[in-house]
Amino acid sequence: MGSATKIIPALMSAGKEYVCVMRIHGDFDLNELQNIIKEFIGPIYQRPPLRSAVKRVVRVRRVYYIKVLEVSGRDVLMKVGVEAGTYIRKLCHDIGEVLGCGAHMQELRRTRVGPFKEDETLVTLQDVVDAYKIWTELGEEEYIRKVILPVEAGVSHLPKVIIKDSAVDAICHGAALAVVGILRVETGIKVGDLVALFTQKGELVALGKSAMRSEEMVSSRRGIAVRVTRVIMRPGTYPPLWKSKKKKRDIY
Amino acid sequence: MSLPIDITREILIREETAGSGKYGKAPSERSVEELLNAGIINLDKPPGPTSHEVVAWIKRILKLDKAGHAGTLDSLK
């Protein structure tokens, strides 16, 4: 909602989990199917289907896990964890090809997008309507606060970089983050990773691409640590403690 | 059954300075109006209506001028 829509790309590129029903076009041996499914874990090749939003060239996608939950006749209920951009319909079809008799995806439900799962935060449309009414008509905030999560919840899957108060406003204006503006860094950041910049109070400032590894961010004397790709916080939320280079600006 | 994003990360400290804490406020301190202007709903989309339709309903229910979604089932913004 509102400015939180700016983090949508960070969710689009995040891993997904689905529960699907795969219908097999013939009788099959469950052990054989399980063995074939194992072959589909890891990197797989997929050509996007005819009706798709992207260019139809073969691409590699990662399948993290496939778990058969239930088998009923020729229907196989399974849970699949995949990289963004993996087509589950195609996956089912391809499993059917290897099995020999063919298969198709009968039903699909997404059960996870990055940090969002089917947990206590999952609400129905009716929950939203009720919570909004209780807030506007009775002035009771408890329910609406359970329904609407802060924007920070949408980037909890990204590695965090905690920055100084003095660096916040410059970042809000799109400046790159220099190492001297950093307080703390989460481990495991590689060059090019999408990272989230936070204030000490836990507010999301911006998203960016890292230009260093975590270790370099804490040990380097100088240099750019993160290039900002998307600013979330409104400029002016924190005071501008950075010096403006007037002369340089005049050139433009 | 976990995704790569489920790895646990440690925290490395570059500088201890806590600062004054004068500026900003923790997300939990935000008003409902502020949450409505920059919040997320992990929505259980019913089968049938499209994500686009559901986003339109949400916008109407919450009287928002801007909303989007990041997936056919949940997480509407």
Mind giving me the DSSP string for A139-189? Answer: ---HHHHHHSEEGGGGGTTSPEEEE-HHHHHHHHTTPPEEGGGEEEEETT-
Cβ <8 Å between A4 and B39: yes
A109, closest residue in chain B (CA to CA): B73
Mean pLDDT to the nearest integer, A211-239: 97
Instruction: Quote the distance between the C-alpha of residue A16 and its chain's center.
Output: 8
Which of A135, A148, A234 is the best substitution to test chain B (most B C-beta atoms within 10 A)? A148
Angstrom CA distances, A106 to A21, A168, B44, stand at: 5, 49, 20
pLDDT in tens, A46-86: 988 887 778 889 999 999 999 999 999 999 999 999 999 99
Cβ <8 Å between B12 and A218: yes
pLDDT over 70, % of chain A: 96
Query: Position B49: which residue type?
Result: P
Phi and psi, residue B30, nearest 5°: -65, 150
Which of B2, B14, B50 is the best substitution to test chain A (most A C-beta atoms within 10 A)? B14
Facing A81 at nearest CB: one of B3, B30, B76: B3
Q: What is the ipTM of this complex?
A: 0.88
pLDDT over 90, % of chain A: 89
Mean pLDDT to the nearest integer, B48-73: 80
Q: How far is B33 from chain A (nearest CA, A)?
A: 10
pLDDT reported for residue A50: 83
A47-51, A129-133, B15-19: least confident range: B15-19
Token pair 């052990």: residue? A31
Nearest to B30 by CA among A116, A173, A171, A4: A4
Judging contacts by C-beta atoms under 8 Å, the chain B residues touching residue A7 are 77
Tell whether the model's pLDDT for residue A23 goes beyond 50.
Answer: yes
Mean pLDDT to the nearest integer, A236-252: 63
Instruction: Quote the distance between the C-alpha of residue A216 and its chain's center.
Output: 25
Q: What is the DSSP letter of B41?
A: B
Confidence at B18, pLDDT banded by 50, 70, 90: low
d(CA A232, CA A230): 6
Confidence at A134, pLDDT banded by 50, 70, 90: very high
Cβ <8 Å between B14 and A184: yes
A14-28, A43-57, A199-213: least confident range: A43-57
Confidence at B22, pLDDT banded by 50, 70, 90: confident
Active-site annotation of B, residues? 74
B4, closest residue in chain A (CA to CA): A15
Q: How far is B56 from chain A (nearest CA, A)?
A: 11
